[in-house]
Amino acid sequence: MTDLSLDWLNLVLRWMHLVFGIAWIGSSFFFVWLDNSLRQGQQPKSGVLGEAWMIHGGGFYFTEKYSVAPPQLPPELHWFKYESYFTWLSGFFLLGVLYYAGADLYLIDPNVLPLSAPAAIGISVASLILGWIVYDRLCKSPLGNNTALLACIGFVMLVAATYGYAQVFSARAAYLHVGALLGTIMTANVAMVIIPNQKKAVAQMLAGQTPDPAYGKQAKQRSLHNNYLTLPVLFAMISNHYPMTYGHPYGWVILAVVMIIGGLVRHFFNLKNQGRGQRYEFLAVSFALVIGLVFFTAWDPRRSDFAGDAGIEEVQKVVASRCTACHAARPTFDGIAEAPKGVMLETPQQMRRFAAAINQQAVRTEAMPPGNATEMTDEERQLLGAWIAAGAKID
């Protein structure tokens, strides 16, 4: 397949992944909100947990939630599962097109660990499966009954996974894998617990029995986890645009803090919808953590100041040897069909135009060159930094 058709495949998969993801997270947010918004009706009905009135798109809707199941199974019952399955599938194919087909560029960083492509891909797939098994066992163990303790253990394990990925893959791939791991857990929760348990409950009803409330309880536990994981997983998916996060030497700390922020914000909305008050302190703490991250990412132990002078000739030499194999009107690097993100760095004018982006990608962080494909040295990064710090002059 040509590089360009691989780019198109990437585009179509990403588009699908976004659309399915919106449908999944949208419906999941809606149901969480609905659950949280249920109130006792005027006349309590047996088996009914609560009810809610809604208005949307020019009509009124009335919903009742049954604690276990209604007395009779309705003739038509709507299920919500394909949003989740297709989000995962499109995401996995996207991972394949980008990080597996382009393993040398995106997945592997020889400075982190000089893996072969098959080994790196094997580790990636195995880690997703293993992550699910460990999580699922934890939920089913006695620990699963203690939500707060389970959350703490889950968080520590997730941070450990983040740290572990960063010791194996490129920084960018490490972040993305945390997202892939969370996404896999969330979809597996739907496919392996939530939907099967709902099916069992329905089967019991059809057999004339009362469904076992344990099924609903297990499904609720996984659904609660998915709820708190939505914001962190979304961050991990968009993180590859922000090298100041994954590219930081303590990238795993940053990701851990972002996960806390995501959880706190979600918690604020959950409490608010349950009518348990507007606990703005959760938002305030999140905001303070974001500010903390701004300062933390500004501090980089590797390159804090840029002394010295760098002329455009020297800088251009560095860029020509380290960047333009890819960032040119006609890239020569194997697998690169056109200048990535439209960034061309062949003339001093182009270099000045992209100076801020160069600073972000190749000086402040080592996001570029990907996997340090062209073996850029620290001195060269210093040189670019000094040129940019002095105003990116081209004459």
Binding site for ligand HEC (CB under 6 A): 105, 240-241, 322-323, 325-327, 333, 336, 340-341, 343, 354, 357-358, 361-362, 368-370, 373-374, 376
Nearest CB to ligand HEC, comparing residues 266 and 322: 322
Buried b (16+ CB within 10 A) or exposed e, 86-98: bbbbbbbbbbbbb
Shortest separation between residue 155's beta carbon and ligand HEC, angstroms: 28
Distance of alpha carbon 59 from the chain centroid: 35
Residue type, 225: H
Based on CB atoms, which residue is closest to ligand HEC, 236 or 326?
A: 326
| Shortest distance, position 329 Cβ to ligand HEC, whole Å | 14
Contact 89, 190 (CB under 8 A): no
279 and 315 Cβ atoms separated by less than 8 Å: no
Lookup result for tokens 């860029």: 319
In the bound state with ligand HEC, the residue whose beta carbon lies nearer, of 289 and 325, is: 325
Q: Is the peptide bond before 110 cis (omega within 30 degrees of 0)?
A: no
Residue for token pair 């994981």: 229
Q: How far is the CB of 112 from ligand HEC (least distance, A)?
A: 16
For 133, counting Cβ atoms within 10 Å of its Cβ (0-12 exposed, 13-18 middle, 19+ buried), the class is: exposed
Q: Which is nearer to ligand HEC, 266 or 327 (CB)?
A: 327
Q: How far is the CB of 230 from ligand HEC (least distance, A)?
A: 23
Closest CA to 180 of 309, 294, 91: 91
**Cβ 394 to ligand HEC, closest distance in Å?**
15
* Residue 66 or 333 with smaller CB distance to ligand HEC: 333
Closest CB to ligand HEC among residues 137, 241: 241
The distance of closest approach from Cβ of residue 354 to ligand HEC in the complex, given in angstroms and rounded to an integer, is 5
Distance of CA 279 to the CA centre of its chain: 26
**Of 112, 142, 105, 128, nearest to 373 (Cα)?**
105
**Shortest distance (Å) from residue 102 CB to ligand HEC:** 8
Q: How far is the CB of 389 from ligand HEC (least distance, A)?
A: 15
Residue 178: CB minimum distance to ligand HEC, A: 17
Dihedral angle at the C-alpha atoms of 32, 34, 35, 39, nearest 10 degrees?
Answer: 150
Nearest to 136 by CA among 68, 199, 64, 222: 222
Do 280 and 332 meet the contact criterion of CB atoms below 8 Å apart?
Answer: no
* Of 241 and 317, CB closest to ligand HEC: 241
* Minimum CB distance to ligand HEC smaller for 219 or for 368: 368
| CA dist list (Å): 3 to 8, 340, 370 | 9, 12, 17
Give the contacts of 46 (CB within 8 A, at least 6 positions apart). none
- Residue listed under structure tokens 């940019």: 388
Q: Closer CB to ligand HEC, residue 14 or residue 279?
A: 14
Phi, psi of 49 (to 5 degrees): -80, -40
Q: Kindly tell me which of 259 and 376 has the beta carbon lying closer to ligand HEC.
A: 376
Tokens (6 digits) for 248: 């930081």
CB-side neighbour CA atoms (13 Å) of 323: 30
Minimum CB separation of residue 141 from ligand HEC in Å reads 40
